[in-house]
Structure 1
């Protein structure tokens, strides 16, 4: 008889198969483990890509604020006609400063916001627009030469870039309280907004609510701004009728400059736009006449203020060229 206390002998093959059967996990557990592994692999790739992707910053410049603040600080006036601003040099300085503040970030571009009559680029704005990595955005100018629509342009760009994760940091150069909403919108999408300003001779030139809202603040002093602002001595008063010790230009010289400005406007603004002036001959709209004067003075390097005869010659040259083209 067989002793019931004795277990039947198992072959070595049977002994090996038995535990193997118990160690094999069920099918659904194997599927879960595989899904977890795929997820881990995906996260590893995503994290590796994020680690190697640099952050991005952009610089948003309210040109009206820069002209007014830098002009006041360096030249003692906010009147653009009284000083020259080296916009290209100043933009490069802003870019260089951003490189030191955001060392691990790349520049998307510089946005330069300014005003212009009927949003048509002036010669200066055209030169700025041709700079690499610079985008000129134009609001309008009213009859008092005040910018209109610039703040809304800044908000649109700042919010859009932040929403699409195109930037992680924004350097905002401005001072208007209306920019608070732009800052809030960008921050709502995770971007950090850094307010840059220009030193004010006395008090502040940036709204306090704007200062409270941003993530950081930085101010550029006189030494930073001075190389980029040059006062135009030719716009001082000429009580004796002289041109700061230089001989007055002749009528033919000024007439030629008037034709030059007309040719530049035709090239930059288009024939249809300039042709709108023809029905008003020989009178130019006040804003257009002022713009003609400013650009002619820049070409001459002399002021024509207080010289009615030369200003008439300037208009004559302007009309002469238009009449040869239409």
Structure 2
């Protein structure tokens, strides 16, 4: 045997490495088979539990859309001050409809999105928040009575619930194109999004890109909405036959209202009006007129001079504060 060569033992195995006996191989294979069987049993139990767990749905309501669309359809106006909405009744109707559509699913809750000054609940929003299975989420309401931040709240909730598998289906009541990103986010986590709308009085009240993105679409007609909308009676004043107030009186009332709004709505909100001087946004001008008529207990409609005096008093006080 030459130098540097070592004898080889067995089938190429190193000299000192022990060989596994047939009995040991059989034991190892038996242990492996037992573990596989246990794993399969565990998976079967998990699948059985998943099969027993009902799917879950939630309803997301853009209240601004509901007020505008249902008000226009039933009462002929989008102005909330012209009609009353039975929010409790409409929410219950939405829940009943969801029970029919998602028959094998349970309701997580209804999310009601609305705007409010400084995100402080109005009495109406507070009563809605007290309803069972309803959560009110508030965006801000700017000086032009426009909702701010509502779409981002909807997206945040939709995405979060879908990501955590808290819902399998979402019924979205709205029409704004800005909701497309919310739909895409929820769908990205496997949730199905169903768009619910209110019949348009004329044309369409839901953005086409939103209709393209959702998994299904449903529209509620006039008969569905009519029971929940009541038009308010036109206000009449007892002293209509009396002489109209003077310009100074009306100007003083305008200043009073400006002071009240500063306290209630906040300086930042009111400051948003300043760049528009001497004009007020339509909704704000309407609020001012209605509040002045309430204080004066008479109509200022048809009195252009007095309405200018009202605005002058309003602006005079507002500008003096900044």
Is TM (by shorter chain) over 0.5?
yes
Q: Which residue pairs with 2:9 in the alignment?
A: none
1:284 aligns with 2:260: yes
Q: Which residue pairs with 1:87 in the alignment?
A: 87
**CA 1:201–1:195: 2 relative to 1, 3 Å:** same
Of the candidates 309, 318, 325, which is equivalent to residue 296 of structure 2? 309
CA positional deviation for 1:306: 3.1
Q: Which residue pairs with 1:101 in the alignment?
A: 101
Q: What are the equivalent positions in structure 2 for 1:1-326 lying under 5 Å apart? A: 26-235=26-235, 241=240, 283-285=259-261, 288=264, 306-310=293-297
Report the Cα distance in structure 2 between the residues aligned to 1:133 and 1:282, rounded to whole angstroms: 39
Report the Cα distance in structure 1 between the residues aligned to 2:59 and 2:263, rounded to whole angstroms: 31
2:173–2:196 CA contact under 8 A, matched in 1: yes
Q: Deviations over 1:245-275 (max 9, x none)?
A: xxxxxxxxxxxxxxxxxxxxxxxxxxxxxxx
**For 1:65, what is the secondary structure of its paired residue?**
helix
Deviates more, 1:35-44 or 1:144-153: 35-44
1:59–1:171 CA contact under 8 A, matched in 2: yes
Q: Deviations over 1:33-69 (max 9, x none)?
A: 1121011111111011011100000000000000000
Structure 1: tracts of 5 or more residues without a match: 1-21, 243-279, 290-302, 312-326
CA positional deviation for 1:150: 0.1
Structure 2: tracts of 5 or more residues without a match: 1-21, 242-255, 266-289, 299-322
**CA 1:196–1:25: 2 relative to 1, 3 Å:** same
**For 2:165, what is the secondary structure of its paired residue?**
coil
CA positional deviation for 1:305: 6.4
Report the Cα distance in structure 1 between the residues aligned to 2:55 and 2:213, rounded to whole angstroms: 22
1:194–1:217 CA contact under 8 A, matched in 2: yes
Q: Which runs of 4+ in 1 moved over 6 A?
A: 22-25, 237-240
TM-score calculated relative to the size of structure 1: 0.69
* RMSD between aligned residues: 2.7
Report the Cα distance in structure 2 between the residues aligned to 1:93 and 1:286, rounded to whole angstroms: 39
CA positional deviation for 1:168: 0.3
2:257–2:291 CA contact under 8 A, matched in 1: no
Report the Cα distance in structure 2 between the residues aligned to 1:68 and 1:140, rounded to whole angstroms: 17
